[in-house]
Amino acid sequence: MPDPGTEQDCLFCRIVSGEIPTSIVASNASAIAFPDIAPQAPLHVLVVPRRHAPDVAALAAEAPTVLADLVALAREVAETEADGQFRLIFNTGARSGQSVFHVHAHVLGNADLGWTPA
């Protein structure tokens, strides 16, 4: 029987459960971090909560402590991999660029990042 905090057909739930293997960059009790398969910067890591929530707003409403743990893990990745300098991005909704509807943060770093929001 699946964990009630997961969605059976969710790509990131399957990665969190170990069904789909990946290289884990870092983890804590609430989240895991792994490399993006299509990096947009020298450092591009996804930080994903272990529990399923469709987007960052839903996670903030349902489990604010999990969101805080996710951000703490993003900071840990940036401290280790990018001297603490990073951009943290959450896309919410298809028009904003969200393609996997399990909340995830993009940690970008190790470059002089310009500002191109659209």
Which residues are identified as catalytic? Answer: 104
* Whether 72 contacts 91, CB under 8 Å: no
- Strand ranges, E, within 7-71: 26-27, 31-35, 43-49
SS3 state of residue 105: strand
